[in-house]
Structure 1
């Protein structure tokens, strides 16, 4: 990336980098925000804007249009809408930081709303009481194990499909996701209670599965690796046994999937005070902006749910 010529901008990106590090963001996230802010300042220099106080809303709008024309150096294709929105949210948060620290009196980005497609899509979130109900109606070790992994460990449905018995390192009390999204590996700690339930489930299926066959953790009725549709059916059958599930509108029920459990644990962790950065690591998100979706859910959607 081209170096910045304006000393003010060069110092600003360094100051903001230090600010993010103090907040506890991971090195990868800090680097991403640092580089994207630097790219924005480089655009301003190209357009003869060299002072923070001179940045106007039209300049931010111009940069947004420039990103829409930009070709990714990695893919060789135009930037995706989600990527553009993510970059613009970084800039918007930077200006909020300038206002909070008193560096600027007026926020030129305040008139914009940069939302990713995943943010605006409505999400169904189980309350903590509904989760307790699901555990209460789980009638066997398989159902409880699905809840422990999909909710308790926040696994994606594809990760549930691919998980093998060897991925449960119960001696170290961790679940290993060998190939998450973008083939990213992560370790998820589990409690003693979950460990005991996983041990019991593995013991219950050992007699049914030969050692030389597939090491899948979950099997369907045809003795094959369980697929996404089967997980969803099991979840919905459990939900319909709960009091809240029986009252759930059909339209809402149609939106329920294994992702609902993943979104729910993320929201509940946020409610219970866990930092966004720790939730990001737990879920295996590459970018903190993806995790920040749950801040939106927590403040806007959950306030309408009766607990």
Structure 2
């Protein structure tokens, strides 16, 4: 039993499902640890993996403090991997067929208020290329609700200022069009026409560049946002995804329909978008409890 089948499976999900590099790396880590565990327990052949061994492995992960959400994701990965092995005739039986993922608690995403968003984004881009770039990043994350991976992957050819939209390639290489508000158009115009050339040392097509003229990293985007949140006196745990959550929540709070928000976010399943309606429901419940005379204790 070796790691060749893992490489083959990752090639399969890349070609057939269009999974991103980061997702494939997470799959690889899960599967390598899984195979290592089986080897440590004297399983030398794939067909020697049986349901009790998998259940024992999951119990071990539970005991080490793995969250239910992480274990559910792992089980999903294992199921896909073993189904691939059967399809490629590496195995004759699927040992995961009766393995069920644990129930996970549905947690509501953190969002910023509109007042906090205004404080976060209300800063001068100045006359430095890096400052203008940073403002572009934050304006796009909130103004378009894109993922950080989508932001750093944007090319100049994806930006259509005269028509007021950007072309986004999301998870699974799914493409969508997202409108630009006037603030985004103005700051993008300044960045592209006045500042970006000072960063572009390699004649790159990538929109967001670091000081070396290369694609910016996710970590740098996170650090820029964290620094700006401190400057804006926002005392919440914040990440690029917080701005995406806030984008969706504020649209729904102001009357947007769920289907349109789904399209803007690039969700393949509307049930993923529905979590934002739960936020609104909680807000309504809080208002009711605060103001209705029968709800007061």
TM-score under structure 1 length normalisation: 0.56
Identify the match of residue 109 of structure 2 among 116, 119, 123.
123
Q: Distance in 2 between matches of 1:259 and 1:301?
A: 20
Q: Distance in 2 between matches of 1:81 and 1:127?
A: 38
Q: Which residue of 2 aligns with 1:224?
A: 214
SS of the equivalent of 1:171 reads: coil
Instruction: Check conservation: 2:199, 2:211, Cα contact below 8 A.
Output: no
Shift of residue 160, structure 1, vs aligned partner: 1.0
Identify the match of residue 161 of structure 1 among 135, 152, 167.
152
In angstroms, what is the RMSD of aligned CA positions? 3.2
Shift of residue 135, structure 1, vs aligned partner: 1.3
CA 1:216–1:289: 2 relative to 1, 3 Å: same
Shift of residue 171, structure 1, vs aligned partner: 2.1
Q: Which residue of 1 aligns with 2:183?
A: 193
Instruction: Check conservation: 1:176, 1:188, Cα contact below 8 A.
Output: yes
Shift of residue 159, structure 1, vs aligned partner: 0.4
Q: Distance in 2 between matches of 1:222 and 1:210?
A: 8
For residues 45-89 of structure 1, give each alpha carbon's deviation from its aligned partner in whole angstroms, at most 9, with x where no partner exists.
xxxxxxxxxxxxxxxxxxxxxxx9xx88x977759979xx9xxxx
SS of the equivalent of 1:208 reads: helix
Q: Distance in 1 between matches of 2:116 and 2:256?
A: 21
Identify the match of residue 141 of structure 2 among 117, 127, 150.
150
Instruction: Check conservation: 2:120, 2:228, Cα contact below 8 A.
Output: yes
- The number of residues matched between the two structures is 195
Instruction: Check conservation: 2:132, 2:195, Cα contact below 8 A.
Output: no
For residues 122-152 of structure 1, give each alpha carbon's deviation from its aligned partner in whole angstroms, at most 9, with x where no partner exists.
4211111100001113543222211221000
Matched, 1:234 2:224: yes
CA 1:295–1:138: 2 relative to 1, 3 Å: farther
Instruction: Check conservation: 1:137, 1:242, Cα contact below 8 A.
Output: no
For structure 2, the 5+ residue unaligned runs are 1-75, 88-95, 126-130, 288-297
For residues 200-245 of structure 1, give each alpha carbon's deviation from its aligned partner in whole angstroms, at most 9, with x where no partner exists.
11113343255862211112233321011000110111110113x1
Matched, 1:296 2:278: yes
Q: Distance in 2 between matches of 1:229 and 1:143?
A: 13
